[in-house]
Amino acid sequence: MVKEKKIKPSKETPSGFVDRKEKELLIRDFVISNIKEVMIKYGFQYLETPSFEYTDSIGKFLPDKDRPGEGVFSFKDENKWLSLRYDLTAPLARYVAKNYNEIPKPFKRYQLGTVWRNEKPGPGRYREFLQFDADYIGTKNPIADAELCLLVSEILEKCGLTKEDYIIKYSTRKITDELFEFMDESKSQKEKEINSPERRLKILRSLDKLDRLGWPEVKKLLGKGRKDKSGDFTEGADLSEQQLFKLEQVFNPENYREMKFPGTKPASEEGSQRDLIQFRQSLEAFGFKNFDMDASIIRGLEYYTGVIFEVNLNFDVKNSKGQVVQFGSIGGGGRYDNLVNNFGNIDCPATGISIGIDRLVYALMQKKDFDIKPTRPVVICVFDNVKIEEYIKLLKLLRESNISSEIYPGEGKLKKQMEYSNKIESPCVIFYGDDEIKKGEVKLRNLKTGEELSIKIENLVNEIKKLL
RNA sequence: GCACGAGUAGCUCAGCUGGUUAGAGCAGCGGUUUGUGGAACCGAAGGUCGGCAGUUCGAAUCUGCCCUCGUGUACCA
């Protein structure tokens, strides 16, 4: 009598994890097939590394806490901490260090794989996503950096974007390195602290936001701090007026194209100017023009050592409610000449680029109307007075000709079968009841036009092929 | 993490300042048509009003805490 209420398991996916439907998956497949084509053309090897790595290989060391640092999903296996990989670059460095004697030098590999980040999800940003990585290991040649940008742009354009839709912005970490050295020549003790690693990182991260926030806001972050739209306050880097003024000379958008400040190393020495010139010349040598120097490109990762780049979209991305949303870049990378060295005493320069495939797909779906349609089966309707063997004969006939087809898989009347076929967007249904069997023909109903034809069984395959 | 906003049927939402059995549209189910979908009409069903506690004679509505989602911000080795 009384309805018993059971507490049911949640039907929600965990925060930051999403179900992906066929339309998105098909476009993703399309993107992936483009990637593979381009990578083969550029001469890269295909590699796969495991989803889990030892936590210390991923980059964070185990603090004396129960769980390793935030940002990764980890668990303890026996006595070792394992983590789901956070990116594909650290595992690659690990792989290279492990197989250093066997791999060719330089080593070019690409990889497609899911990565996991234990962070707060944002628009188009999930805690599980597909990443594409292409890397050059064991070369300092600036052509390698240029080719990475080139190959990514080729992928984007294969996917249907035009030169107007994206731009590759670049800079080099050496700009800030040199700048910090220069600023350190200031007198006061407080100002000297600018070169402490934490302080430097904080400043770099603030500068990284230039494109999004603009100089006036970034200035607040470098100084006392800043209040965001919601009223939340972020502590600043607390630089002196003097230091702010110096930074402004370089990073105020009106100035920062001129990357020359006292302390800049001349192009004749290894340093920022030479990096930038060589990189630009390499791109130009390929005839590639869709790039722009932008000193605000800094990137959050600490391991970068030289040229860095980012792939930015030039169009607005909206969420499901139609609001324009802070989408950020869809990919980026740069030189990390010391990373492999972390795993062993191997001096091994490297450079790489990665694309967030799911984010690219998300943006692509808004920019482009894809006519990628899922293949849907021809449905053979079931009349309950006809033996199943008759239907199986028809089914075999169709499947032998590679026609996607099925016998109506449920139970129910014709009406229900029609509704089903309509819902799955089947191209056509087949009626094969007593009347048809007697005449040795079938009725073929085109579900788009509603047109219905009587067809001899011998002609069935051909008639259906005409419809598809 | 921090800030702001939101959580009512499978989905999209209404329900204003607390007041009888909580509503609509769409979807789903059944029927009008037991051999014909995408249209229409009819009918029935579907809800611990995110959770817990409190205020009150009385809470979807007010208060507190928690959870989840969204946006911004921080973080992103």
pLDDT (tens digit, 9 = 90+) per residue, A48-102?
999 999 988 886 544 444 555 567 888 888 888 888 998 999 999 999 999 999 9
- Given a contact cutoff of 8 angstroms between Cβ atoms, the answer to whether A395 and A380 are in contact is yes
Domain assignment present for residue A430? The answer is yes
CATH code of the domain containing A238:
3.30.930.10
Looking at the structure, tell me whether residues A448 and A382 fall in a common domain: yes
Q: What is the pTM of this model?
A: 0.89
Which has more pLDDT, A396 or A197?
A396
Helix A142-158 and helix A22-42, axial crossing angle in degrees, nearest 10:
140
Please tell me the number of Cα atoms within 13 Å of A154 on its side-chain side.
19
The reply to whether the CB atom of residue A316 sits less than 7 A from any atom in nucleic acid chain B is: no
The reply to whether the CB atom of residue A257 sits less than 7 A from any atom in nucleic acid chain B is: no
Q: Please write the tens of the pLDDT for every residue from A334-385.
A: 999 989 988 888 899 999 999 999 889 988 888 877 878 889 999 999 998 8
Q: Which residue has the tokens 């788009």?
A: A448
What pLDDT score does A188 carry? 63
Q: B63 C1' – A8 CA distance, angstroms?
A: 29
**Count of domains forming chain A:** 2
What pLDDT score does A33 carry? 96
Domain assignment present for residue A424? The answer is yes
Q: Beta strand pairing status for A291-293 and A166-172?
A: parallel
The reply to whether the CB atom of residue A454 sits less than 7 A from any atom in nucleic acid chain B is: no
**Which bases in strand B are touched by protein, i.e. have an atom under 7 Å from a CB?**
1-4, 28-30, 33-38, 48, 68-77
Task: Using the predicted structure, report yes or no on whether residue A323 has a pLDDT greater than 80.
Answer: no
- Among residues of chain A, what percentage have pLDDT more than 70? 91
Task: Using the predicted structure, report yes or no on whether residue A120 has a pLDDT greater than 90.
Answer: no
Where does A229-356 have alpha helices with state H?
241-251, 272-285
- Subset of residues 60-119 in chain A with CB less than 7 angstroms from any atom in strand B: 60, 69-72, 83, 86, 90, 117, 119
Domain containing A299: what range? 22-367
Confidence of residue A186 (pLDDT cuts 50, 70, 90): low
Looking at the structure, tell me whether residues A385 and A355 fall in a common domain: no
ipTM: 0.82
Which nucleotide's C1' atom has the smallest distance to the CA of A300?
B76
Q: B47 C1' – A10 CA distance, angstroms?
A: 17
Which nucleotide's C1' atom has the smallest distance to the CA of A301?
B77
CATH code of the domain containing A441:
3.40.50.800
Length of chain A: 468
Of A136, A108, A58, nearest in space to A307 by CA? A136
